A and B are shown apart, each in its own frame.
Chain A
Amino acid sequence: MTARPVVKRLVKRKGLFAGFKGNVDAITLGLKYLVDPKRFTLIYPNEYIKLDPGYRGFIVLHKEKCINCSSCARICPAAAMRMIKRQEQDPKTGKVKMKLWPVINYQRCIFCGYCVDVCPTEALYTVPYHDIVYENMAEMDWGLETFTRPPEHPVEKEGGIPVKYIVDEERGLVKVKAEGEEGD
């Protein structure tokens, strides 16, 4: 056991000018940041965060890899993924068969990524963005056709500047352009 409790004491302040140093310190620090503020606001529609490839965003299906096993629908904690029956022509034999295909309802999805991790053939993958807006609830219930195409990134499409937040030793988070050059 290397952890141990340590009893500490608060520093008591007494006397007429006890608070003087504390006030001066606080005001000096406040003034320092008044002159040189630390801001990293994202000017959203003009810029967007280019997230790491590992980010769990929207889930998309590789239809040719899918083996119709229903694992993703079984593991979904929010019951967002479900299987639908669809008649498909087998490319090899040419026979028409009834098959089960996963579809996702983004009204319910909580982006836990269980389905992606459980898929035995890596048929599901995540795209590293999820700032997609729908006009009505019905559109969020994706059909099989929508599910097999990665959704359009609306900000990227309209020419937003990709930015990235990196941890800086001096200033905490710093906004930089995703290509690597310094941002504003």
Chain B
Amino acid sequence: MSEPEVRGAAQREVRLKVTGLEVRLGRSGPDVVGDVSFAVPAGQVLGLVGESGSGKTTVALALLGHTRRGLRITAGQVLLDGTDLLALSPRDLRAARGARVSYVPQDPSSALNPTLRVGTQIREVLRVHPGAAGDAGDRVAEVMREAYLDPTPEMLRRYPHQLSGGQQQRITLAMAFACRPSLIVLDEPTTGLDVSTQRHVLDTVRSLCRSYGVAAVYVSHDLAVVSGLVSEVAVMYAGRVVEIGPVARLFGEPVHPYTRGLIGAVPSPERAEALAGIDGQQPRPGRRGAGCSFAARCDHATGDCTTEAPEPVTVAGRSVRCLRAREIQATHPERVPAVAGKPAAPAAPALSVRGVTASYGSTPVLSGVGLEVPPRACVAVVGESGSGKTTLARCVAGLHGNWTGEITFQGAPLARGARQRDKDVLRRVQYIFQNPYTSLNPRKTVGQIIDQQLKQFTGLSRRDRSARAAGVLEDVSLGQDLLSCYPDQLSGGERQRVAIARALVVQPELLICDEVTSSLDVSVQAIIVELLRRIQRERHLAMIFITHNLALVRSIAQSAVVLRRGAVAESGPVGQILEHPADPYTRRLMQDVPKLTRSETRFETHGPPSPRSA
């Protein structure tokens, strides 16, 4: 089945067919996912997209006959080349896993055994499934070349920690493809990688699937990544596939209100558009109730939507699970162009950073970085991981004291560390952390968290403080009832809003946002970015917005600074940087950003990456 001659003929035959898949909590608990059906032809990739909690990983694991603890596959078939994987005996299932079905996990650094050499780990797959792919030694070298890795003896003898993230992910890909499987399940394999590395890994996946005639299921929360890779896409929401169809049509003219919402939330590096988030939360298993799970968040919902569960209907070449699919299809979603941020009029900069050089221990992180933030303006700092953008932010905030150079804030030089700065400076420069799951003390209520900030920085009475706290919650669109909640009772988006409220409540003049949306879903990211944009404008704040996501820059900043290995590669107005990047590094970054294709054109396939490029 893996001979090159038959590949062409096998191209269109359906490899994987899933029907009525259902996974429940325990034997008779509520369903986590239900009524999931799709088919994948040989050589094609199906994208499974949705936000966290939509059940996409549960479906991915069920394709291998596996569930997380406490869950159980209660109905459905997973037909792979005609055999139902779910009906296999445990012994046969074990034999099938790795040989006929394989899995590529999200985080290669934890998926690879740190104590085994990578060559050993690839060889192990072949040893467990003897006869799956001829001579093990040859096959290891072959599959590594296919994954664009150099099968040199010294590469095989390396340990996972001696490889880059991209190389590690290629090793897991090589392991997955080693036995020439018929189906490969990829669970967000590029989430932790830089855009450039991500692009190389995606190219690898694409070429491997094509040349082997493998059916692949690619799970991702990133619509842009999926749009360039897959031929069909299934959008999941609250455990159901709400829309499934060819990728170009589905992303070009989405029908389901949820798909429309998701696409509206994806920032575009090419156009300046206001981002529209989807407010509210996905209902949890067991709390989905009768009717459409999305009804509570849907602008198109009618009375029927809350009582009648929608069945899939075929509209415009795709299957949609919406009662009003036909009516909605006739309407067109509108994207509001963002109010073009005017470059600030020349004035003394609010913050100026000159020749800042910083290091962690003896490792240099920044060398001679300079940037200026005009008053009332937002400057984006972009770069790949390891480029020093977070260190720069920490130097400005006073969290990282080991730097030399000069940082002046409103004319006065800033002391190195927070301990040497006086209270008023600390108040005026506020920092919002990347991860709202660790930036709020889990033992304090939202009210206590905000009150503590006020107590530290102001001499207000208790009454005034609680009035200020109530006011600021309103500013970030949170209800007063949240004041008595603990952080773990809030969703990620709500937590990040609390963190923003904590910064705003003391009326800062400079806001440093460090990757504030990178741990959030795309629909929540849109809400947070819009919130920050509104607040920056209303309160005339100076802002530094740090991100690895070039596409976001357009939506919020007026000028941008591109960092590369601790030095400024390029800086200037956003339009100039994104449209006419001068520096080759910026150009490459722009090229590698996955873009959501909204028309039939897919982004062109590049040649295979060179083995050492990641």
- Are both chains from one complex? no
